[in-house]
Structure 1
Amino acid sequence: MARVSKRHADPVARLRKAIETGHFLPGQRLPELELAEWLGVNRVNVKLALGKLDQEGLVEVERNKGARVRVISREEAVEILQTFASLETLIARNAAAKATASDGERLKGILAAVQKAQAEEDYVEYSQQINRLHAEIRRIAAHATAARIVATLNVQIARFRLQTLLFPGRIKQSIQELKEIVDAICAADGVRAGKAMLEHLNNMGKALEQNLTQIDA
């Protein structure tokens, strides 16, 4: 593992981001000594970070075996996506009711960044910009309870999204779906925004299911 440049960066945040972006893959072992070197911290901090991520459901810490990135079952993936889709649909409707003109411009700017990342085939950046777009929609919606629950699912959703990039045509389809969401919010059309968000996440779920089926075959 190459050492990160910021030696004193929060090890929990660094590890969470590494799992989110696919730097560490499902099932991959996470040796404490190697992580300590990679993060530039001592093993005590690594152990505490792994314990926190174990509580979040991102890693599994097994006695006498160490830690590994947690593998999500097909059934749990479906449940996570269903929960996320329901909450994000509510959030999109709320955002459409509350968005100002400047909010709309910010959403369009982030959408342009998504399109730029796609054109440059930078798929980690592409996924991160989509996360940013969803975060901005949540900010506009100002639904604290929904946002708090969604925050616990974000890393898993980001992992799923990266997997769906392997499905042919999904990226272009996704961008069109995101444009429809942004357009609906800017038009203050809550019904349309909610429907567009639900369709976007349902299609993501279908792509994930097909990708998992291909892997299992």
Structure 2
Amino acid sequence: MLTEDSAEQAGTGAPVVAAIRAAIIHGDFAPNQRLVEADLSAQFSASRASVRAALIELANEGLVERVQNRGARVRSISIEEAVEISEVRMVLESLCARKAAERITAQQVRDLKAIGRAMRRAVGSSDVVGYSELNEQLHRRIREIGGQRTAAQVLERLRAQSVRHQFRLAMRPGRPAVSLPQHLAIIDAISAHEPELAEQATRAHLASVIEALVESAETKQRG
């Protein structure tokens, strides 16, 4: 099934790589699913050559795996790799939070506070999907405020690779109630122009994510 976002990207003449990337991130293609050039060409109204080039680029990003004599497929990310990605995210997200605390304006403080209030409402109403979307929005907004473009580009690629694990983690019972105060602590530190506290709060949050992923891996092994 083609998502609204990926359909819009394909229909407006945006590069086919963006449309296929969106479809993978949004779960339209399952891990290890074969990506047949002819099918993608028809689905995204693109030439076979542009689809082939897109798959090569997505392979470089770590979203697609090209198998000799067997074409391409969606790369499956293990929990162990998701933990490694989160460890890298911890370093880069902390840098972005520190930069955001140094640069944030009064209007941007209001923006972050508004996201925080929306996250509270989502947890209070058990809107797990809405909370997950706000989570992504918050981290993206912090990266934008921090203005560290190189870190932001790397983080976007890492997020794309681990998005399925992040979503499953967000769906775990009780997880939003754990992460909400962590996110609010990040918002408060950045809003108060406290770079060190912002960095510490972000590290604490990602450490919690890593711990939850490790617990998930151990549970899977026992099962």
| TM, length-normalised to structure 1 | 0.86
Judging changes above 3 Å, is the alpha-carbon distance between structure 1 residues 74 and 188 closer, same or farther for their aligned structure 2 residues?
A: same
Judging changes above 3 Å, is the alpha-carbon distance between structure 1 residues 129 and 188 closer, same or farther for their aligned structure 2 residues?
A: same
More moved, 18-27 vs 91-100: 18-27
1:94 and 2:106 are equivalent in the alignment: no
Residue in 2 aligned with 1:167? 172
Work out the CA distance in 2 between the residues paired with 1:19 and 1:113: 27
Residue 33 of structure 2 aligns to a residue whose secondary structure is coil
1:73 is matched by which residue type in structure 2?
A: S
Judging changes above 3 Å, is the alpha-carbon distance between structure 1 residues 79 and 113 closer, same or farther for their aligned structure 2 residues?
A: same
CA RMSD of aligned residues (A): 2.4
Work out the CA distance in 2 between the residues paired with 1:68 and 1:116: 39
Cα offsets for 1:145-196 (capped at 9, x unmatched): 4334323322124333112123221122222211111111111122221121
Residue in 2 aligned with 1:184? 189
Residue in 1 aligned with 2:24? 19
Residue in 2 aligned with 1:62? 67
Work out the CA distance in 2 between the residues paired with 1:206 and 1:154: 18
Q: How many residues are paired up?
A: 216
Residue in 2 aligned with 1:127? 132
Output aligned runs, 1:41-56, within 5 Å. Answer: 41-56=46-61
Q: Would you identify which runs of 4 or more consecutive aligned residues in structure 1 move more than 6 Å?
A: none
1:140 and 2:145 are equivalent in the alignment: yes
Instruction: Determine if contact 1:163/1:211 at 8 Å carries over to the other structure.
Output: no
Judging changes above 3 Å, is the alpha-carbon distance between structure 1 residues 68 and 92 closer, same or farther for their aligned structure 2 residues?
A: same
Residue 171 of structure 2 aligns to a residue whose secondary structure is coil
Cα offsets for 1:27-64 (capped at 9, x unmatched): 22222233223222232222221111011111101122
Judging changes above 3 Å, is the alpha-carbon distance between structure 1 residues 14 and 113 closer, same or farther for their aligned structure 2 residues?
A: farther
Instruction: Determine if contact 2:90/2:206 at 8 Å carries over to the other structure.
Output: yes
Residue 34 of structure 2 aligns to a residue whose secondary structure is coil
More moved, 83-92 vs 67-76: 67-76
Work out the CA distance in 2 between the residues paired with 1:26 and 1:215: 17
Residue 61 of structure 1 aligns to a residue whose secondary structure is strand
Residue 72 of structure 1 aligns to a residue whose secondary structure is coil
Aligned-residue sequence identity (percent) comes to 38
Residue in 2 aligned with 1:210? 215
1:99 Cα deviation after fit: 1.1
1:193 and 2:193 are equivalent in the alignment: no
1:103 Cα deviation after fit: 0.9
Work out the CA distance in 1 between the residues paired with 2:187 and 2:140: 13
Judging changes above 3 Å, is the alpha-carbon distance between structure 1 residues 213 and 23 closer, same or farther for their aligned structure 2 residues?
A: farther
Work out the CA distance in 2 between the residues paired with 1:122 and 1:10: 32
1:109 and 2:99 are equivalent in the alignment: no
Work out the CA distance in 2 between the residues paired with 1:190 and 1:159: 30
Work out the CA distance in 2 between the residues paired with 1:38 and 1:90: 39
Residue 35 of structure 2 aligns to a residue whose secondary structure is coil
| TM, length-normalised to structure 2 | 0.84
1:70 is matched by which residue type in structure 2?
A: R
Work out the CA distance in 1 between the residues paired with 2:31 and 2:53: 20
